[in-house]
Amino acid sequence: MSEYDFIIVGAGSAGCVLANRLSEDGRYSVLLLEAGGSDLNFWIWMPIGYGKTFYRKSVNWMYHTEPEPNLDGRISYWPRGKVMGGSSSINAMVYIRGQQEDFEDWKAMGNPGWGWDDVLPFFRKSETNDRGATEVRGGEGPVHVATMDRYLHPMCEDFLRAGEELQFARNPDFNGPSQEGVGTYQNTAKDGMRMSAARAYVRPARKRPNLRVVTRAMTTKILFDGSRATGVRYVRKGAEHDVRARREVILSAGAINSPQLLQLSGVGPGALLRSHGIEVVRAAEGVGRNLQDHLAIDYLFRSKVPTLNQQLRPWHGKLRHGLHYVLTRRGILSLGVNQAGGFVRSRPGLSKPNMQLFFSPVSYTKAVPGKRALMSPDPFPGFLMGAQPTRPTSRGHLEIRSPDPMAPPAIHPNYLGTDLDVQEMLEASQIMRRLAETPALSRLIEAELLPGPQVQSDDEMIADIRARAGTVFHPVSTCRMGPDPVRDVVDARLRVYGIDGLRVADASIFPTVTSGNTNAPAIMVGEKASQMILDDHRPGGSNKGPARSADGQCVPETPVSASFQTA
C-alpha cells in the first residue's frame, strides 16, 4: 500500500496551495488527489470562457439544490469546479479579499490567529499585484492579480459617476486599506489568461520528486484506525486504491464535497449516518450545517448607446475580437464579465458596507439563468446591474442522500430565511433603481427590461426577488471553524474535533461568509493552513513524535518519486 506524509483531497483553490507549500522544502511526501481532470482547456484559460464551462460536465460537478420555499419553490443551480484548480478554474475571476472586519469577526467568534492582522500576511504571500507591492498588497506571490481598467467599456465610467451622484466615494482598490466605495474589479489573470490555483501553485511544483498528483481520482472514504485518520480510499478507472497518510489527511474538497466526504466516512450527524447504515466514527452535528451563500438580484436595461452587445453579437465582431485575443491575449475577451461595481451601505447607521454592486456593459435576455456567455449577447444595446447583501444571516445545510459516494448531496440553502435578509435584498433592488435614476445613467437608459416599470411597491419588489434572485456561487461554512466541539467542526488550527490526523482547509471552514467573492480568502486559507501544518510537524510542534506506518513502525521522511497521473 502506498504511503505519503500528507494526503490532500481536492485540487481546488486551497488544495493546490497546500500541495505546493507542503512539498516546497522536500522534507515531506505529498499526494494530491483530484476527482476531475486536467485544466489544459482553452475555455478554462480564456478569461471569458467560463460561460462555456458553466454547464460542462467534464469540468463541473453541476449541483442542484432542493426546491427553495423562499424562492417560489425554485431549484438553484450550483456549478462547482471538477478539474485541476477547482472552482478557481471556472469562476468569474474577481479578486476580492473581504472586509477587514470580516476577519476580526472570525477572531471574535473564538478563532485566535484569524483576525485581519493575522491573515493579511498570507494574502500578501499569495499575491503578485500588477500595481506593485504595498503594505497591504503582495508583489512576489504565485497568484497574479491584474488591473483591467485600460480595456473596460466606457459605460463603466458612467456607472462610477452615478455612484458618486449617490454620494458613494470612488475606491481605486477594493483590496486596499478600505473596501468601501465604487470602482473597477481586479481579476486573477496574467498575460490575458486565467490565473487559477492550479496554474499559480501546482504547475510550478509538478516536477518536484516528493509531490504526486493524481487526477480523475474520486475519493470515496477516509480510512480510520479508531479515532485516527490513517488514509483514504479513491476510485480511478473503476479500480479502488487505498493510500496511507503517515502524518495527516487534509480535506480541501470545498464547501460541498468536504462535508459530504466526512459524512460518507462516518463523521457527521449521528442520526443521519445511522439512517444510511454508515458506522459512526464520531457524531458531529456541525458537519454540513451552517451553510451560507450570497444571493443576488440583477436589473436589466436597454441602452440608448452601444454596449459590448454591438461589438460581440455580429459574426464579424466575434471574429475580430477573437483574432485579437488569440494573437495578443489582450482586449475585451481578456476580461471577466463584471467590470465595475462597489461596496456600499444601503441605509444610514451601518458601521460598514453591507452591499456589493456589479456592473456589466452587456446583456443576455435569453440566456439560461446564471449563464453569461459573453460571445452571445442580446441583439440590442443593453447592460446589467446587480447587487447582493454581503453578510446574509440565513443558514442552510447539506446532507448525503445515501451511502453512495457518487450520489450528489441534498443541498438546502434556506435563502431569505430571516426578515433581515429579505429587507436587505429589497434594499439591493432599491439601490439599483436609485442608480438608474441618476443623471449619469438615466440619460443612457431607454427602458428597464427586468423587472420592468410595473414593479414599484415594496411587496412587488420582494415578489420579484423571490421569482428571480439567484446565487452568485459562494457557498461556505459547512465545516465551520469555531471553539465549540459540539456545534463546530474544526478548531482554530483546522483540526477536526475528536479525530487525530485529519484537517479541513477550504471555504467550508469559514466561520461566516466574507464580504465579497470567496476565491481569494479560500487561497488565503490554503496559505495559512500550510504554515500551521508545517509548524505543527516541526520538532516541538503540536504533532509530536516521528511518523509511523500502519503497523506502528517509525518511518523516515523519504520523498517518493514525482508523478503527475492524468487521464
Active site residues: 474
Number of H helices, E strands in the chain: 15, 25
Q: Which residues contact 282 (CB under 8 A, 6 or more apart)?
A: 227, 266, 267, 497, 498, 499
Expressed in angstroms, the distance from the first to the final Cα of the chain is 22
DSSP string, 11-23: -STTHHHHHHHHH
Burial class (CB in 10 A: 0-12, 13-18, 19+), 269: buried
d(CA 251, CA 506): 8
Measured from the Cβ of residue 438, the count of other Cβ atoms closer than 10 Å reads 17
Which of 368, 360, 370, 300 minimizes the C-alpha distance to 335? 360
d(CA 259, CA 294): 19
**By the 8 A CB rule, do 445 and 301 touch?**
yes
In the three-class reduction of DSSP (H, G, I as helix; E, B as strand; rest coil), residue 527 is classed as helix
d(CA 344, CA 73): 30
Measured from the Cβ of residue 406, the count of other Cβ atoms closer than 10 Å reads 8
Task: DSSP letter for 367, please.
Answer: S
d(CA 152, CA 165): 21
